[in-house]
Structure 1
């Protein structure tokens, strides 16, 4: 069901959204359809771009950030964001085995990265109600309390994009089409 959300251009977007779309185009080389759709609400598109920029400032590696983001995309069934983050991961030279595992919901070979993937699942599925034991196990894997909170930041970022995509259903950008993803690619219960 499409709700007839417009995929804005910089020119057609509400005036208050134009600077954010211009910044997105400068950063990415084009305005992704998701952000073009989000621009209907200047608050939404600016929040998304600002939170993305803040998340990028974390001490987490690009691979670790993508583990959090792609795990949430998969759990939330966001086909648009899985394709987009597959592209981002490839451009950032995230290991192909990690990308493949994240797309399928398979465990990661690296124990520390797998602990991060599992904790991202816990935060998503429990809506943040991780048990003391789950937090302790995550910390024992080599992460910090700072990372615990940054997993929540990444999850919040994905709530903004995944939920917007579910409501507005923007078309997949041509750049992301070769990396299309569907829920039937995921392993159930992983």
Structure 2
């Protein structure tokens, strides 16, 4: 059970009600992670959603965005985000096999995507500056400077939700992932 209480959609008022309405209009429902964030700090959720909107308007494909989010979520052991982004990844056209392989750091069958997985796994597992070798590998795979900025933004956005969901132990309201 989630640690932080959540205001139900029909009981929300003020900034929480406003952000609930926007999320419901966009997604069709208010996922538990968003509800917990909106209950306790709607401005924080708003900032995260704005960053995600900037990412969506950026240069990474939706599939690459979901690969980054899955790799980081797997490294963080965030079952909530792994479940959520597996569902969104499927909607973006990623196969279950490619998502499982990316989460495990195994080949996906797409050389450019495999380079992205290696790069993001390196970021997740090796703190500090990205080595020249890692930088050259991701550039050689075809990722440009703007896409590298978007990769960093995707890592930042998902890291925030990973950390929050680990603090809250958010109840997973997406299909479970093996």
Same fold (TM over 0.5): yes
Aligned partner of 2:177 in structure 1 is: 180
The question of whether the paired residues in 1 share the 8 Å contact of 2:2 and 2:170 is answered with no
Q: Secondary structure at the match of 2:9?
A: coil
In 2, Cα distance between equivalents of 1:84 and 1:54 = 19
The question of whether the paired residues in 1 share the 8 Å contact of 2:102 and 2:114 is answered with no
Q: Secondary structure at the match of 1:136?
A: helix
Query: Relative to 1, partners in 2 of residues 1:128 and 1:61: Cα closer, same or farther, differing over 3 Å?
Result: farther
Give deviations 1:13-44, integer Å, cap 9, x for gaps: 46222222211111111000000011111222
Aligned partner of 1:44 in structure 2 is: 44
Task: Report the CA distance between 1:128 and its aligned residue.
Answer: 5.5
The question of whether the paired residues in 2 share the 8 Å contact of 1:17 and 1:46 is answered with no
How many residues are paired up?
Answer: 177
In 1, Cα distance between equivalents of 2:57 and 2:128 = 22
TM-score (norm 2): 0.90
With 2-11 and 92-101 compared, the bigger mean Cα shift is at 2-11
Name the structure with the higher helix share: 2
Task: Report the CA distance between 1:54 and its aligned residue.
Answer: 1.3
The question of whether the paired residues in 2 share the 8 Å contact of 1:80 and 1:172 is answered with yes
The question of whether the paired residues in 2 share the 8 Å contact of 1:74 and 1:105 is answered with no
With 54-63 and 11-20 compared, the bigger mean Cα shift is at 11-20
In 1, Cα distance between equivalents of 2:2 and 2:33 = 14
The question of whether the paired residues in 2 share the 8 Å contact of 1:17 and 1:45 is answered with no
Q: Which runs of 5+ in 1 are unaligned?
A: 182-190
With 58-67 and 121-130 compared, the bigger mean Cα shift is at 121-130
Query: Relative to 1, partners in 2 of residues 1:13 and 1:105: Cα closer, same or farther, differing over 3 Å?
Result: farther
Aligned partner of 1:184 in structure 2 is: none
Q: Which runs of 5+ in 2 are unaligned?
A: none
